[in-house]
Amino acid sequence: MAASIAASSRTNYAYRVRPKQAEQETTVPKSRVRSKAVYTPPPRSSKAKVSPPWLVPAMLGSLIVGLAWIVIFYVSSQDLPVKAFGQGNLVVGFAFLVAGVVLSTKWH
């Protein structure tokens, strides 16, 4: 009986021997060659960008005035530069600093 079980299991599809197919050579078509370069850099502009002559002095002046405003406010025990502004002196000082940073982004 064991021989009949072994013989029947060989008839399973996993053990079935497939017939040999006719051996044919298959040719694969050649890949196409790229016609242009992978990356083409953008053309450079003919004119170099130049900052206006007032930009650098205005930027540096704004940064220095903002820093000086805040330092004077703290050193003078919050009496100077303008006593009426009170804590608003910090807002004025930071406004000058922000203006200087914004101007620095326009510099070429």
Question: What is the separation, in whole angstroms, between the first and last Cα of the chain?
Answer: 94
Q: How many folded domains does the chain comprise? A: 1
Q: Decide: 62 and 103 in contact? Cβ < 8 Å.
A: yes
Q: What is the pTM for the complete model shown?
A: 0.56
Whole domain around residue 76: which residue ranges?
65-94
Does residue 81 fall inside a structural domain? Answer: yes
Does residue 100 fall inside a structural domain? Answer: no
Does residue 80 fall inside a structural domain? Answer: yes
List per-residue pLDDT tens for the chain, 108 residues long. 555 555 555 555 565 666 566 566 678 878 777 676 678 888 877 777 888 999 999 999 999 999 999 999 999 988 888 888 888 999 999 999 999 999 999 998
Does residue 53 fall inside a structural domain? Answer: no
